[in-house]
Amino acid sequence: MARYSRGAGKAVKSAMRRRKRGSLKSGRSGKRVTSRKQAIAIGLSEARKKGAKVPRRSKRGGRRKAA
């Protein structure tokens, strides 16, 4: 079974296109996005808001504490 829906893929594709054109801006600060990873994250977030099938965000946040 697919992990992401077709709508999610389209949202990421459009976010990548907007990044290339220079019209993709981050939510809070409103700065222009140049990072590929950030563009993908924004695309998935938009897809999630529209109700597309996207896995839930991880609760960890990606950072690890030093042992």
Mind listing the pLDDT tens digit for each residue in 28-63?
A: 899 999 999 999 999 999 999 999 999 888 787 656
**pTM, two decimal places:** 0.77
H-state helical runs in the chain: 6-21, 36-50
Structure tokens at 12: 């990421």
pLDDT of residue 62: 59
Question: Amino acid letter at 33?
Answer: V
Distances in Å between the Cα of 49 and the Cα atoms of 16, 20, 36, 54 are 17, 23, 20, 10
The domain spans of the chain are 6-50
User: Residue 27 burial by CB count (10 A; 0-12/13-18/19+): exposed, middle or buried?
Assistant: exposed
pLDDT of residue 28: 87
